[in-house]
Structure 1
Amino acid sequence: MLVLENIVSLLPLPDQKSVSLTCWRLYYTVSRKVFLLRRRFILREPLSNTSFLFCKQSDKCGSGENLYLADSVLPSTVCWASWVTSLSLKDTHPNPADLAFILRSCSRLVSLDLTGCDSLFNKTLGADLFLSNALERDAIRECLGSTLTKLTLANISSLSDENLENLFATFQSLSDIDLSGCLFDFNLTNVNLRRILTFPRFLSLVSNLEIESKFKQPCGGVLHLNSTSVSDESLRALAAIPGIHISGIYLDNCRELSDTGYLYLMMSDSVFNCLKKVSFSYPGPSVTCRVVEVLLERFSHILTYVKLSKWLFPANSRVPPLFKRCSALEYLDVSSCFTSPKLLVNSVSSAFTQLTSLVLSGYSGLLDEDLNCILKGLACCLKSLDISSCLNLTDVSLSSVCTYSPYLETFVASWCRGFTDSGIRNLSSNALETENRSLFSLKHLKSVNLCDCSRITGSSFLCNTSDSLNLYDLRSLRIGRIGSLDGSVLLSVPSIAPQLHVLDISRSSADDKTIEVLTTKLSNTLRELFVSGCEHLTDQALSSILTNIPFLRTLDISFCPYISPKAVLLFKSSMPYLYYLKSIYVGSYLKSARVS
């Protein structure tokens, strides 16, 4: 009501009658069915972090406590479930029956993330497995079988062929399937239904997807097989499925693959003229740069997403000139790929008119002039830049970033030990341009990571009355382990970035009073706080967080020697929204004092 009163007070309404008429018209408008069906609900907390929907119960095997849906949640499901389009239950332990109950009301669900949810498919827990009941599958399929297009099943060790068959029978229009980290049996000679997850059965299920699935359309579907033991023959079998189309393939850290498997896939009809997204990071020992050369030769005109972290391209590689053909690229990750910075400069071309995200981390030999050449050629199109661990970059590179990337939204520069305060606040005397520009001139910034930049101190973020250090759109600020982060600096942070969602001030001089003021000023927005290594914090800091930020999702208080383990347990039990709590080596000084 206070919000509505403030809005109405700003309107040019001459008398009480006009106010009443305006309010009535507003109520009439938002009550119309047409408006209700089109509006998008903005919940107080995003449902991607759903641990607050759960309560702790001991499982039947006595192996500890799991999270189960609270009894009070289920009756209210029909009130909010129909508006949910993306639901993540990552690393929770939902009860299969309760999850099925919720899904029957999620008529608009597009994406479902079940990463690490072993309880749904583990018979040892005693409950019926997820979607094991035919009537349950029919009810969910009728509700969202044709709307759900993205299914994430990563890191589920208990997944079997039978479970996967039930999932595919229920969700028949899948276009994005993530099975990263799952335990597959890639033996292609056994296609019988087994109690473990077999790749032949998965291929059979993909081939039987409904025609509405993008895997059956020319635009193609997306498949994630990161960190699995997928083999060359398995990729060959995948590419040989009749009528299949693949627009995206993620094969990070697949150590069993060789050139043969990649080439089987890229030369097949399944990816012809539709492969737009590839992620081949951390290749196996049998893979050569021939794979990337063929990829760029065949698909350079349509590639939009390329991730090639940890490849080593030799000096005589044909990769740099081939990269210049990729005019449609929007995301490029070439971290630690080139042995020479000059090869990197030659690869990142001015032809990348669509490039918005660039990852160049890990180039210890990258110099200021190299980065300047790259950014100047990209013509102000970058929105995300990662130059972390580029140890030889100096404030001149910061000048290049501020000059040539004015629309930057994400800037990652952790471990850049050549950056100093003068580069953050004002350009150094050897700047490339005559106009002084600082990091605070990038008004579109939403995320900044300067952790472990040892020559940057807290004075860069000390806000005086005469300064105009305002980054109102900034949502994430990570300045952990930089120099001289004392209380006066930390108290300036809310003035610089009043809308922070993520704050990392690890190994700073923050004390209980500082945390109390910070959490009070950022109480409406702050959801992730990292204060590891802050040696002045006590149990009182946890009390302030509990009082001021009840919706906190992530907290790291590791290596805080005066915070007691008992206070940590009490805090954890009192924070229903808390998703992740890291508290290793807490209370070490208290223990040593007790021993002495």
Structure 2
Amino acid sequence: MASSADSSSITVCINEALTDDELRSVLAKLESQRDKEVFGLVCKRWLHLQSTERKRLSARAGPHMLRRMADRFSRLHELDLSQSISRSFYPGVIDSDLRVIAHGFKCLRVLNLQNCKGISDSGVLFVGSGLSSLQSLDVSYCRKLTDKGLSAVAEGCSDLRSLYLAGCRFVTDGLLRALSKNCHYLEELGLQGCTNITDSGLTDLVNGCQQIKFLDINKCSNIGDIGVSSVSMACSSSLKTLKLLDCYKIGDESILSLARFCKNLETLVVGGCRDISDASIKLLAISCKSNLKNLRMDWCLNITDSSLSCILAQCRNLEALDIGCCEEVTDAAFHGLNGEENELSLKVLKVSNCPKITVTGIGMLLDKCDSLEYLDVRSCPHITKAGCDEAGLQFSESCKVNFTGSLCEPDVLL
């Protein structure tokens, strides 16, 4: 009896029984971030383990706090220090902060500095020299940056997969040559508004970077058919998203090249490319019919019923389509749907400022499309709410119809 009583009084401290690796295994089984935070409240040892295992962090911090964060979150993989547009008056991260980040977060793979207007080449040089494991960098709208600092990133971060530079207007072809030379695994590149980029730079880029899946050159007004054709040939098997908004030098040659080489293309934005015609769009629809999901071609003024009919007939997996301001498109573009057995997959359709499309055309579309979630018919004089009600058009409860511009637009085609 005595021995039994002695054994029942024995207590075991969990911190003495479990090793650090065993506690990490317990932590790994917790799915929600809240549960992981609670894990760290047990004691200092558990807090230390929880901190060192954390992989993602979003913060607003200066140099002192960044040093404390680096000591605590020593194995951090993703750090988001981006600024919202509403705080555009505040510089956010500055060059001295980047020095702390480069020395303190050696395991960092993803760094988001979007809208941090206080950083310059001096700070980005630290990123290039100190974060060799970096795979993704977003410095969109960091307007002080030039080729000097970003080329240092290309040279020091050879495993870079994603680079976003929207609004970095001082970037030139020199950076694209540095990426081509050093970053052969690059998959995503955002260059929106980098107006100094030319066809020559794109050609140099894809000489070394042939695994690009996403390329955004919206508003790069010096890009023409030569550059796009170079990309389509070099990245034929990988390219899935290409954005060319307001690249007014783009014409049929670019689209024909995409149709010939890029069968896996899923998203194409050519809004504002006014030299594109029916012939190239129809060939693209036929060539990419199995994979094309998003197509924006607003303000392509040469587009007619012929193109739209072909797109609707061929691209059965298309989910979003914008033909706004294509003034030659009429109800006739939808006539071919009557003979189709399969339903359309369209979720977003924008036909704003198409004066020749009427309620009749929208009715034919609805008969073959139950999946529509957003329809933009602003400034279509023959399509009004009263007219749709009078014609007995039945929109699903989940479909938002924008008659006047009062609804928020989905960003799928931006």
Regarding TM over 0.5, the answer is yes
TM-score (structure 2 length as normaliser): 0.76
Superimposed CA distance per residue, residues 197-216 of structure 1 (whole angstroms, 9 cap, x where no aligned partner): xxxxxxxx896499999993
Superimposed CA distance per residue, residues 40-70 of structure 1 (whole angstroms, 9 cap, x where no aligned partner): xxxxxxxxxxxxxxxxxxxxxxxxxxxxxxx
Quickly say closer, same or farther: Cα 1:237–1:339, change in 2 above 3 A: closer
* Contact 1:308 1:334 (C-alpha < 8 Å) held by counterparts: yes
User: Is 2:56 the counterpart of 1:222?
Assistant: yes
1:422 CA drift (Å): 3.0
User: Is 2:319 the counterpart of 1:501?
Assistant: yes
* Contact 1:303 1:329 (C-alpha < 8 Å) held by counterparts: yes
The SS at the match of 1:317 is: helix
User: Is 2:218 the counterpart of 1:383?
Assistant: no
After superposition, residues 2-21 of structure 1 pair within 5 angstroms as: none
Quickly say closer, same or farther: Cα 1:298–1:582, change in 2 above 3 A: farther
Q: Distance in 1 between matches of 2:94 and 2:296?
A: 39
1:224 CA drift (Å): 4.0
The SS at the match of 1:249 is: strand
Quickly say closer, same or farther: Cα 1:421–1:268, change in 2 above 3 A: closer
After superposition, residues 438-453 of structure 1 pair within 5 angstroms as: 438-453=258-273
Quickly say closer, same or farther: Cα 1:462–1:207, change in 2 above 3 A: same
TM-score (structure 1 length as normaliser): 0.54
After superposition, residues 96-495 of structure 1 pair within 5 angstroms as: 146-148=30-32, 171-173=34-36, 208=41, 216=50, 218=52, 220-224=54-58, 230=60, 232=62, 235-236=65-66, 239=69, 242=72, 245-253=75-83, 255=88, 256=90, 257-259=92-94, 262-263=97-98, 266=101, 269=104, 272-284=105-117, 286-299=118-131, 301-313=132-144, 317-337=148-168, 339-378=170-209, 380-407=210-237, 408-425=239-256, 437-462=257-282, 469-495=287-313
Quickly say closer, same or farther: Cα 1:312–1:214, change in 2 above 3 A: farther
User: Is 2:394 the counterpart of 1:576?
Assistant: no
* Contact 1:172 1:213 (C-alpha < 8 Å) held by counterparts: no
The SS at the match of 2:79 is: strand
Quickly say closer, same or farther: Cα 1:512–1:336, change in 2 above 3 A: same
Quickly say closer, same or farther: Cα 1:531–1:236, change in 2 above 3 A: same
The SS at the match of 2:215 is: strand
The SS at the match of 2:375 is: strand
Structure 2 residue ranges without an equivalent (≥5): 1-28, 407-414
* Contact 1:406 1:442 (C-alpha < 8 Å) held by counterparts: yes
User: Is 2:367 the counterpart of 1:547?
Assistant: yes
1:470 CA drift (Å): 4.6
Aligned to 2:329: 510
The SS at the match of 1:492 is: helix
* Contact 2:173 2:196 (C-alpha < 8 Å) held by counterparts: no
Q: Distance in 1 between matches of 2:247 and 2:271?
A: 9
Q: Distance in 1 between matches of 2:73 and 2:227?
A: 49
1:518 CA drift (Å): 5.1
1:403 CA drift (Å): 1.6
Structure 1 residue ranges without an equivalent (≥5): 1-144, 150-170, 175-204, 426-436, 587-596
* Contact 1:214 1:220 (C-alpha < 8 Å) held by counterparts: no
CA RMSD of aligned residues (A): 3.7
The SS at the match of 1:350 is: helix
Q: Distance in 1 between matches of 2:388 and 2:97?
A: 48
* Contact 1:554 1:581 (C-alpha < 8 Å) held by counterparts: yes
After superposition, residues 547-566 of structure 1 pair within 5 angstroms as: 547-566=367-386
Superimposed CA distance per residue, residues 504-554 of structure 1 (whole angstroms, 9 cap, x where no aligned partner): 111223333434645985734222211111112333344344433222122
Identical columns (%): 18
Query: 2:396 is aligned with what amino acid?
Result: M
Superimposed CA distance per residue, residues 257-308 of structure 1 (whole angstroms, 9 cap, x where no aligned partner): 2427734751675xx3321111112223x43333322222211x21111111
* Contact 1:375 1:404 (C-alpha < 8 Å) held by counterparts: yes
Quickly say closer, same or farther: Cα 1:545–1:233, change in 2 above 3 A: farther
Superimposed CA distance per residue, residues 534-578 of structure 1 (whole angstroms, 9 cap, x where no aligned partner): 112333344344433222122222222222234578999842233
Q: Which has the higher contact order (CA 8 A, sep 6+)?
A: 2
Query: 1:328 is aligned with what amino acid?
Result: D
Q: Distance in 2 between matches of 1:386 and 1:577?
A: 31
1:474 CA drift (Å): 1.3
